[in-house]
Structure 1
Amino acid sequence: MKNTAKKLSNVQPIPLLKQEALYIGIDIGKERHVAGFVSLTLLERHQRFEACPTLAFENSREGFSALVERIRTLAPFEHCFALVEKTGHYHKALIQYLQELDIPVYLMHVQERPKGMMKTDKRDALNLANTLYNQLALGIQVSDKTQLVRQAVPPTPAAAQLKGLIRHRYELVHEATQRKNKLTAICDEVFPEFTRILHDPNGPTALALREHFPTPAALATASLSALKEVRGKAHNIGNDRLLELQRLATESIGTKDIVRQRGLILEQTQLTRELHLLQEHIAQLEREITTIVVQAREGRILQSMGIGPIQAATIIAAIGSIENFPNAGSLKSYFGWSPTVIQSGSTVDSVGQTHKGTRPMKQMMFLIVSSLIKRDTEWAKLYERLVKTRCPYDQRTGQRKGKLRIIGRVAGQLIETMYALLKTDAEIIGKALPNEPPPEPVLYDPEKHRQHREGHYQPLKVSVRRSVLTLLPHSSP
């Protein structure tokens, strides 16, 4: 930090024009960041952006303060723009710090460095600053969307709370599935006939029986009253099925090796306890997530569309703020449900789904649409109509072909409706006065959707009518 302060004392301030913008590119590191500064005055003085000034600062409060002091010597905050790459989580604290100072922060994907170019943090920072200068100041357009810079809008309060909870729930569910797979493998080795009576070997009743009677011999020699006590109030297994389970235990072909059984029983006991703990934590997270979704405006909007609380929470956490997406197409692309067209003359001509987007959201949207088309909803009616008109009937299988394309079509329209409602609500909140509560959000109305589908279109946004210039007939003098 002393070296940084010494460097700052030797820096001669470069006064910029009052209305001139300063573009800051920041190369993110784990313990140290490097900022590069580009502006019209700096480019005129140094002739090329690689020679513009830079600053190395620590990833700490003192380092952030040093960056702010350097920015003050170059331009006021209202004329500054910063750009960082999406690299893990090391940039989040810096982005929050800059946004608290009302400095607009832009994000872009990590760029691949051209081959043969020397890699330095200073060069990377200045390259980011030059990229931001080109796109914002000069208006240069890029053909590759991965090189496009987008402003980082702070997430809504609900999204900020749900992001960590949804991620933690996803990890816990993944770990619980691993435990279940291991328990299933142990059951197949110790007592493979167990699933004839209880199809799910990891259900509550099945785990209770396996925990109290870990081997087929222990289950076969147990009394019926002991089995009924462990079964509890479960209605999916009666006394006759318990007796049948005991009969299968006496004839089981599971492993008889005592040493092997002892190791499997110990592993099964630990896995069962771990699974119970994971399920308890998942239930606690889901209760907290549901409470947040019910109280949030975005949650009320998404639930009005027939989306469950956990699914709605996943969408809210993924979006962050609907202001991050300029149109519905960008949201569909982010969710991985936008169409891609491959065309080259007359030999190649196909349309399919994009391979981009976030995988959890792509899977979640598939589950949402699959659930909606099974219920009495407008989305189910749309799906049935499109299947009849777009999916040819296969005489050999007796089924219609191409239903997955229809699911993609329904998912696209669902995302468009979602975007329109969330964008309208964001505009309502933006127009509300600071000391007054905003009006109630505009929820999804199935009746309006039905009328829209029948041709009576009613846009959510009121279009501004342009004034019409009427030409009066010229009167002769």
Structure 2
Amino acid sequence: MANRRKAPSNLNALPMLLQESVYIGVDIGKFKHVAGFISKTLLERHQHFEHCPAFVFEQSREGFRAFVERIRSYCPLEHCFIVMEQTGHYHRPLLHYLLELDIPVYVMHVQNRQGGILKTDKRDALGLANHLYNQLALGVQVENKLQVVRRAVPPSEAAAQLKGLMRHRYELAIEATQRKNKLTAICDELFPELTQVFKNPNLPTALDLREKFSTPHAVATASLIALREVRKKSYPSETQLLLLQQLAAQSIGTKNLARQRGLLLEQDLLIKEMRLIQEHIERLDLEIAQIVEHSREGQILLSIPPIYPMYAAAILATIGHIANFEDAGHLKAYFGWAPKRAQTGVSFDRASLTRGGSREMKKVMYLVAWNAVKSETEWASLYKRLVPRLCTYDERTQTYKGKGKAIGHVIGRLITLIYALLKQDDEMLSHLPPGTEPPEPILYDPDLHKSHRNGHYRPIRKEHATNHIVQVEP
């Protein structure tokens, strides 16, 4: 029996005779990437997806060009589909490069590798390509949503600007909190009685006092005129300043001079760092507010009463582009507010939130909902109607328990409204002829919201010239 010759795996041995689609998985690395190629013909030739060809290229423009040329040797660029995992930031240069060429790119969560098998970059790349081939070409459905591939859509102009700014602001806020905690600890050791006058020892006036009169002895021996120069307007009052001097004279703070010198140096540096961080945060807030107010998506979000510029910026930076989400349910899941139900027969039935989603957006939407229910909006009316229906009344305390369920419903409807407004604006812009000046964005109208809640619903029509959207309130 003649020996069966193994098909060559190099690309030069396979001329471009096919006009079929080629599915490519890219295993992302820090300096080099590995691409695996799969198609119907390649699978027939190599028998198994792990034996299909692969290509290694560098994380550079020359490497990206070589990768694209290798794709062209297989098929036209419009016939290829590429998938990659979202591994930190290393995949972004390649993603942006491919999107500029209008190549369909899909992304997916980082996958858990099966234990007990040899792990190589080529195997990982071909495994990704096989995932893409199964879902796009064969229509295979996966039970685990983390294995679903999603078409990558370039972020909007506002989202592209806000993403980095919001991430930096979030990091600065964390650093500011860390320094506040350190300054509080130093105050507790150096001059604990300060909090009897300044409830918050990290307020600007308190920090000015701590910087100029760094020890209890300096405060006790200072003149009232010198202490008055530190205060803002009439705070602290004359009585409070006298009390502060009395407390400083009898302070139980550390008297060890060596320890005091260390604490004073650390306190001085922390105060300067705090002011620098606050200056940067204020500059970021100004820039972020301007981006939101001058963007179409920002104007739409700001028209919803409980959404402030910083919340709108967080939403835009998180979603990137509304086309990334098929429906409002996917947006809820991405924000971490999708319900999950567990049921077994008739003895167990419980609903809760999924653990997935963005942690930052889960907090942001919670704050948005609380601002909504505390103000005179339709969301507050909805919350008041839902509390008696969804919560348990406690006769002893004369209050309702479990109000989080009502808040969750409000958040769900807010996310649905956000999706409807942004999706409608995106579809309207996509149908405009090139070069056409886009009309004003369609905004949220609280009067229409109220009329719809009362049963007077009218579907939005193209011939309407109104600048507001109809929102359904069941």
Q: TM-score, normalised by structure 1?
A: 0.92
Q: Give the direction of change, closer, same or farther, for the CA distance of 1:16–1:461 in structure 2 (3 Å limit).
A: farther
* 2:447 match: 447
* 1:4 match: none
1:456 to partner: Cα distance: 2.5
Single out whichever of 307-316 and 343-352 deviates more from structure 2.
Answer: 343-352
1:110 to partner: Cα distance: 1.2
- What CA distance in whole angstroms lies between the structure 1 residues aligned with 2:413 and 2:60? 45
Single out whichever of 94-103 and 257-266 deviates more from structure 2.
Answer: 257-266
- 5 Å-filtered alignment, 1:104-123, equals 104-123=104-123
* 2:16 match: 15
- What CA distance in whole angstroms lies between the structure 1 residues aligned with 2:395 and 2:259? 53
* 1:76 match: 76
Secondary structure (helix, strand or coil) at the match of 1:351 reads: strand
* 2:259 match: 260
1:393 and 2:393 aligned: yes
- 5 Å-filtered alignment, 1:314-325, equals 314-325=314-325
1:31 to partner: Cα distance: 0.6
* 1:358 match: 358
1:393 to partner: Cα distance: 2.0
- 5 Å-filtered alignment, 1:31-430, equals 31-233=31-233, 235-306=234-305, 307-430=307-430
* 1:465 match: none
- What CA distance in whole angstroms lies between the structure 2 residues aligned with 1:390 and 1:130? 46
- What CA distance in whole angstroms lies between the structure 1 residues aligned with 2:58 and 2:46? 26
Q: Give the direction of change, closer, same or farther, for the CA distance of 1:244–1:459 in structure 2 (3 Å limit).
A: farther
1:16 to partner: Cα distance: 3.9
In the TM superposition, what whole-angstrom CA distance separates every residue of 1:74-125 from its partner, at most 9, and x where no partner exists?
1001111000011111110001111111111001111112222211111111
1:191 to partner: Cα distance: 1.4
- What CA distance in whole angstroms lies between the structure 2 residues aligned with 1:405 and 1:143? 28
User: Contact 1:142–1:148 (CA<8 Å) still a contact in 2?
Assistant: yes
In structure 2, give the amino acid aligned to 1:210.
R
1:26 and 2:30 aligned: no
- What CA distance in whole angstroms lies between the structure 2 residues aligned with 1:82 and 1:461? 38
How big is the alpha-carbon RMSD for the aligned residues of Structure 1 and Structure 2?
1.7
- What CA distance in whole angstroms lies between the structure 2 residues aligned with 1:66 and 1:282? 42
Secondary structure (helix, strand or coil) at the match of 2:57 reads: strand
1:8 to partner: Cα distance: 12
Q: Give the direction of change, closer, same or farther, for the CA distance of 1:249–1:98 in structure 2 (3 Å limit).
A: same
Q: Give the direction of change, closer, same or farther, for the CA distance of 1:9–1:393 in structure 2 (3 Å limit).
A: closer
* 1:475 match: none
- What CA distance in whole angstroms lies between the structure 1 residues aligned with 2:460 and 2:419? 11
- What CA distance in whole angstroms lies between the structure 2 residues aligned with 1:43 and 1:14? 16
- What CA distance in whole angstroms lies between the structure 2 residues aligned with 1:395 and 1:198? 40
Single out whichever of 169-178 and 366-375 deviates more from structure 2.
Answer: 366-375
In the TM superposition, what whole-angstrom CA distance separates every residue of 1:222-245 from its partner, at most 9, and x where no partner exists?
111111111143x44222211121
Secondary structure (helix, strand or coil) at the match of 2:349 reads: strand
Q: Give the direction of change, closer, same or farther, for the CA distance of 1:146–1:284 in structure 2 (3 Å limit).
A: same
Single out whichever of 322-331 and 433-442 deviates more from structure 2.
Answer: 433-442
1:395 to partner: Cα distance: 2.2
- What CA distance in whole angstroms lies between the structure 2 residues aligned with 1:28 and 1:55? 12
1:167 to partner: Cα distance: 0.1
Gaps of 5+ in 1: 1-6, 463-477
User: Contact 1:16–1:41 (CA<8 Å) still a contact in 2?
Assistant: no
Secondary structure (helix, strand or coil) at the match of 1:172 reads: helix
1:9 to partner: Cα distance: 9.6
Single out whichever of 300-309 and 248-257 deviates more from structure 2.
Answer: 248-257
- What CA distance in whole angstroms lies between the structure 1 residues aligned with 2:248 and 2:83? 66
1:11 to partner: Cα distance: 2.1
User: Contact 1:8–1:70 (CA<8 Å) still a contact in 2?
Assistant: no
Q: Give the direction of change, closer, same or farther, for the CA distance of 1:131–1:46 in structure 2 (3 Å limit).
A: same
In structure 2, give the amino acid aligned to 1:108.
M
1:352 to partner: Cα distance: 1.0
- What CA distance in whole angstroms lies between the structure 1 residues aligned with 2:399 and 2:50? 63
User: Contact 2:9–2:52 (CA<8 Å) still a contact in 1?
Assistant: no
User: Contact 2:27–2:85 (CA<8 Å) still a contact in 1?
Assistant: yes
In the TM superposition, what whole-angstrom CA distance separates every residue of 1:252-287 from its partner, at most 9, and x where no partner exists?
222222221111111110000000000000101111
- What CA distance in whole angstroms lies between the structure 1 residues aligned with 2:44 and 2:286? 59
In structure 1, give the amino acid aligned to 2:430.
G
Single out whichever of 43-52 and 95-104 deviates more from structure 2.
Answer: 43-52
Secondary structure (helix, strand or coil) at the match of 1:428 reads: helix
1:461 to partner: Cα distance: 7.3
1:10 to partner: Cα distance: 7.5
In structure 1, give the amino acid aligned to 2:179.
R
Q: Give the direction of change, closer, same or farther, for the CA distance of 1:119–1:190 in structure 2 (3 Å limit).
A: same
* 2:468 match: none
1:17 to partner: Cα distance: 2.9
* 2:4 match: none
User: Contact 1:424–1:461 (CA<8 Å) still a contact in 2?
Assistant: no
Q: How many aligned positions are there?
A: 455
User: Contact 1:341–1:350 (CA<8 Å) still a contact in 2?
Assistant: yes
- What CA distance in whole angstroms lies between the structure 1 residues aligned with 2:321 and 2:460? 19
Secondary structure (helix, strand or coil) at the match of 2:74 reads: coil
